[in-house]
A and B are shown apart, each in its own frame.
Chain A
Amino acid sequence: MAVAEVPPDPAAPPKVTAATIFLKFLVIGSVSFGGGIVAYLRTMLVDQTKWYTEDEFLTALELSQTLPGTNSVNMSVIVGDKFAGWPGAAAGFLGLCLPGAILAYVLAVGSESGRHNPIAHAALDGVTACAVGILTAITLKTGKKQFMSFPDVLLLGVTFVMMSFLKFKLFFIIAVMGAIAIYVHRPRSKTA
């Protein structure tokens, strides 16, 4: 892989084509069973291809976490756009998503035809119960820091009540709670 040897230099980014981007992301999209894509991305972008320095990678990751959307998909289009513009962004996105999307489609078709079989139906009920445990665990793990901070517990608690009990629209909750929460976390000078 000749492109991998080009040293990173922000002034002159290495020449990377949309096809290369597609293939690199296709690998990650094929092997990243069970999440943790950011770790795969870091290995590919910083260690393997050296398309990004550690700092550039963190800057891109922060941007992908600030903007709406799934972090891994955001990263794929940021990386693709950096090297090959819109075609690169499309290539990164398709490479990352296609393998999983095809498998998800196969599972959708299979589960649809299997649900009249009693044993398959019970197995799918097992998957359903498991889903609840997984999302609960991901919520607790992702929110480790927030659950330990009093203002954050208040903010997430009000958000929860607005969504689950008051049944507000998501748009409204994001606008109101987002504004309040960003105000609560506003930058303050150290001396204040």
Chain B
Amino acid sequence: MNDFKLYAMVAAFFGTLSIQAVGGGPAVLPEMQRGIVDQFHLSADQFVQAYGLGQLVPGPNMLLVVVLGYRVAGTIGAIVAMLAFFVPMSIIVVLVGRVAKMIPDSPWKQAIRDGLAPVTIGLMASGAYSMGTSAITSVAAAAIAVVVLGVMLATKVNPIWLVLAAAAAGAFVLPH
């Protein structure tokens, strides 16, 4: 496949996901994992790892698309993935935002938010499920995931420390 065709595929893939991100970016994670594995032939493990690396950086929580774009199509792929994922939705937001000012307040706005919330949560749960079933392949890995889950639910610790701690733990307890 020539490079241009690959970049076009990356742009189409992330651009399509962009406009489907209802209730926030994480809603598209299960579809993204499926597509990354089926269309771009990365392993599910690499996808989950990209999500983990994305938690180490400041800014929006969906910068894993930069990591994925790089893994799939190099430096240009990283740039294409980032623009394709963030720009289409941004354009929609600007356009709708301008129109929304003219629409009087309606109880339907609240209904849309309340209605989309459980759909978003269901999709995020699906993302966690598909990540878990593909990435947790040893008791030690399961232990790391469970400890991280417990600490995050019980405390307000910044997740970045958990990622760094898990990397250190992995270096010691996971098979080399």
Which chain A residues have a beta carbon within 8 Å of chain B's beta carbons? 29-35, 37, 60, 62-74, 77-78, 81, 86, 89, 93, 96-97, 99-101, 103-105, 107-109, 111-112, 118-143, 145-147, 149, 151-153, 155-160, 163-164, 167, 169-171, 173-174, 177-178, 181-187
Contact = CB atoms under 8 A, between A and B. Distances in A.
Contacts of B6: none
A111 B153 contact: no
A132 to B, nearest CB: 4
A101 B66 contact: yes
Contacts, number: 358
B124 A139 contact: yes
Nearest to A169: B31
B10 interface: no
B90 A89 contact: yes
Given A66-B109, A86-B94, A146 B125 contact: no
Given A99-B59, A100-B57, A123-B170, A164 B126 contact: yes
15 contacts: A69-B89, A70-B86, A97-B82, A108-B67, A126-B168, A129-B140, A130-B148, A133-B166, A139-B26, A142-B124, A151-B118, A152-B121, A156-B122, A157-B122, A181-B119
Given A70-B24, A129-B141, A97 B97 contact: no
Given A108-B67, A122-B176, A178-B22, A163 B61 contact: no
Interface string B1-31: 0000000000000000111111111101111
Interface residues of B, number: 108
A67 B20 CA distance: 10
Contact of B149 (A121, A136, A185, A186): A136
